[in-house]
A and B are shown apart, each in its own frame.
Chain A
């Protein structure tokens, strides 16, 4: 057997030792029981890295808290927390404190602001508002400082109000904290903030090594209701101690002794949406840019006479289709002159628009005769041309292997409106009608911990580009819906356009989620349209029309939507008679791309319950496609009419499959987390709204992903 060089082996060993890079030695922030940067049960002054998403589950005694946190900007973070306390009325049955709950559940929103970043001599300082628009049971405000020493020790000290000012207070510097009358909750209680007793708290952390950290803290939360009033645990001491284990960059678990009586567990998962699993998407390499002969050496190659060849279009089309099929790109239209080619493509696989455009340009350079100098590539969405990217072939050839070729190419391409489909040329061949189907798991929730799981069967039949018959059927497999707790105070005084979700869950064991015919068109430059007819969503059927105006190079888009719907029967069948409720709804919308991934949206109009108002949304989107956002809707429905929560608000997270898998895919899932889904501010959930898919091929998105053009 031949032997390879021992030098080769040592070189490989050296490369393994040299790369990919040294581990971080810094002391990263860890998360408290409340799911925010903290020591054990108390917050700390540092902040998570920009963009970090974390999920924390902490439990001690009869309390469990599940928190989703997002570092919105380098200084601002937000959290949504679902907390529950078991045995809530065990010792208060029959007393005035008995409020009828066995397990008391609450939803909290927090906001934190990093006032000062940590420096060599100064600590990081954060001001935080906990449960600032909930029922107020967990409300607290704090200002807290944290300093790191030698990358091993962290010391935290802070002052807390509200819950965090309830033990060992040192007075009330800003006056008495007024009694809270939260009513239906869900509104900021400005008058309470930083009022009432203030108490100090402190903690220390010691990083034993990269995996193990030990912690101790002094808590200023007396747990007045949970411990003193309801006896759900004994608060014997203000001191907490714990040990935490860090597994990889994403997972941390902690075991604690809490308040001198309880053992606690805390588990958290931390994600950086800026990074992909494995560091990048592993896609097959692109084909090379085609080489043309020098014009001086072979002037005949540049002759445009080939356009007269009768079978030229068919041959070129077949060659292009073959090369593009590798990347899941199909041809919607193909036309040319002797100098210019326009290729309309549909990208079904590659998550990045620029990468799909780059691959189409390479395919054209391989296939088109030498006289064709201008490539017009039009990505299409549901048959509509989203934009036109014009690339000069000689630029592709010149830049293929040059340094910084992405920015150089970007400076030389034009991005414009797609324009109309050329009259001549070839349309899609062998692509339509197109049938696709899939099965996915589905979950339906009536109340926290009460719901059903099942399967959703979806199918789509696209007769021609933009004309789609599609639907999905849900089949329940298992549920615990009979443990639903009816509360008379939850019965809505508004039309039950959303709040009968439990009835829909119970009756719709086998149900048609959607069954629609949708038609998309591009009636004019920069204008896109959609008409959808049928069973538009689980609860409403009818017709929905939408117009979107957006220039390919503009940050602003404007839209209008008009719907007429009847409320569907709860069994998920074809009937619309149970409710006898029909309503015209509609919105005008403005969308704005602020840059750096921040997207704003305002929708004003009439909602399903007949209330009139507006929804404001702000999302942050990362290059990986992960998107995190928040929305709030204020309408003419009063807080009393709306019920618990006072108005509709929530968070939404979109996770693309390619971020999870590290493989090319355009699939993504969006999860919306609401404090409570009520009838006020409820908007029709029609599928296929225009803004997001069109935006994929417009300036902001193309520029943020342009680095992948050559990949």
Chain B
């Protein structure tokens, strides 16, 4: 294979930017750089029109509420990106990395969704940058609680889900993740990022 001129891989990012711009334009507004968009006002039809999977990520601790599209997939690891410059990487839907938030989740070992859904007690390790940029490791023992059936309404579409709360504890601290399983897939989740960023909510809107 010889060298070739690189193509910019920003097509997905352009879709999201266009989506947000279209939404604003539909409301009679011209988007300004950095303008926040009320993502609740974006319609499912507009999102589906782009023909690509779309996820919504909200990180209240960092003031982040964005739409994501898939940047790349390596095996069961999928990295989603936002036009605003954040990425979230999942292994089978379980968060293992964030970038662009500042106090990012640098890496993680996490149980599989199958283990979480089946209530298997598992170990979790989070790695993030602590004081003075030194990597901090936090190890938890995680016990998923019994599943509870719930109907989720996401952008005017109902989803039959089983909600599982995963209680993770260590000496002196705890983390509570929540997963809404639709079949074997995670439709929605509440997952821990880092002490300074807090938690994120991920909603899979368009498959």
| Residues of chain A whose beta carbon lies under 8 Å from any beta carbon of chain B | 1-8, 11-12, 14-16, 18-21, 272, 274-276, 278-286, 288, 291, 298, 300-301, 303, 306, 309, 312, 315-316, 318-319, 322-323, 352, 366-367, 369-370, 400-407, 597, 622-624, 662, 704-708, 710-711
8 Å CB contact of A318 from B5, B91, B178, B180: B5
User: Which chain B residues border A8 with CB–CB below 8 Å?
Assistant: 56, 152, 154, 188, 201, 203
Stretch from B14-22, B112-120, B133-141 contacting the other chain: B133-141
Contact A2 B197 (CB under 8 A): no
Which of B133, B153, B154, B176 makes the CB contact (< 8 A) with A705? B133
Secondary structure dominating the interface of B: strand
Asked if A7 and B198 make an inter-chain contact with CB atoms under 8 angstroms apart, the answer reads: no
User: How distant is the Cα of A624 from the Cα of B103 in the complex, in angstroms?
Assistant: 13
Chain A hits for B41, CB < 8 A: 1
Note all chain B residues with C-beta closer than 8 A to A5: 152-154, 188, 203
CB-defined A-B contacts under 8 Å, sample of 16: A8-B203, A14-B178, A14-B199, A19-B199, A20-B197, A285-B81, A285-B86, A285-B100, A288-B71, A288-B74, A306-B3, A312-B3, A322-B6, A404-B109, A407-B135, A623-B133
Does B131 count as interface, using CB distance less than 8 angstroms?
yes
What residues on A are CB-neighbors of B190 within 8 Å? 11, 14-15, 18
Given A288-B71, A288-B79, does the pair A15, B199 have CB atoms closer than 8 Å?
A: yes
CB-based A-B contact count at 8 angstroms: 198
Residues of B near A369 (CB, < 8 A) are 1-3
Known A-B contacts A19-B199, A283-B100; the reply to A7 vs B150 at CB < 8 A is yes
Instruction: Please name the residue on chain B nearest to A289 by beta carbon.
Output: B74
The answer to whether A315 touches B3 (Cβ under 8 A) is yes
- In the bound complex, CA of A460 to CA of B5 (Å): 34
Would A15 and B133 count as touching, CB distance under 8 A? no
Q: Which residue of B lies closest to A278 (CB)?
A: B102
Cβ-based interface call for B54 (8 A): no
| Complex Cα gap A323–B5 (Å) | 12
| Cα–Cα, bound, A624→B129 (Å) | 11
Chain B residues whose C-beta falls within 8 Å of the C-beta of A406 in the assembled complex: 106-107, 127, 135
B161 to chain A: closest residue by CB: A7
Minimum CB–CB distance from A254 to chain B (whole Å) comes to 28
> In the complex, how many angstroms separate the beta carbon of A525 from the nearest chain B beta carbon?
30
Cα distance, A274 to B130, chains bound together (Å): 9
Q: Any chain A CB within 8 A of the CB of B69? A: no
Partner of A2, one of B44, B134, B195: B44
- When distances are taken between beta carbons in the complex, the residues of chain A under 8 Å from B100 are 282-285
Residues of A within 8 Å of B133, CB to CB, are: 352, 623-624, 704-705, 707-708
The answer to the question of B53 belonging to the interface, with a C-beta cut-off of 8 Å to chain A, is no
Q: How far does the Cβ of B85 sit from chain A's closest Cβ, in whole Å?
A: 5
Question: Which residues of the partner chain A approach B91 to less than 8 Å between Cβ atoms?
Answer: 401
Collect the chain B residues with CB atoms within 8 Å of residue A401's CB.
74, 77, 89, 91, 96-97, 107
A704: chain B residues within 8 A (beta carbon): 132-134
Bound-state Cα–Cα, A707 to B61, Å: 22
Pairwise interchain contact A366-B6, C-beta atoms closer than 8 A: yes
Q: Give the residues in chain B near A272, CB-CB below 8 Å.
A: 131
Within 8 A of A (CB), among B34-49: 40-41, 43-44
The answer to whether B107 and A405 have CB atoms under 8 Å apart is yes
Residue pair B101, A20 in contact (C-beta under 8 Å) = no
**B106–A285 contact, CB under 8 A?**
no
The 5 closest A-B pairs by CB, nearest first: A19-B198, A623-B132, A279-B196, A280-B102, A285-B99
Contact status A20-B195, CB under 8 Å: yes
CB-CB under 8 A from B127, the residues of chain A are 403-404, 406
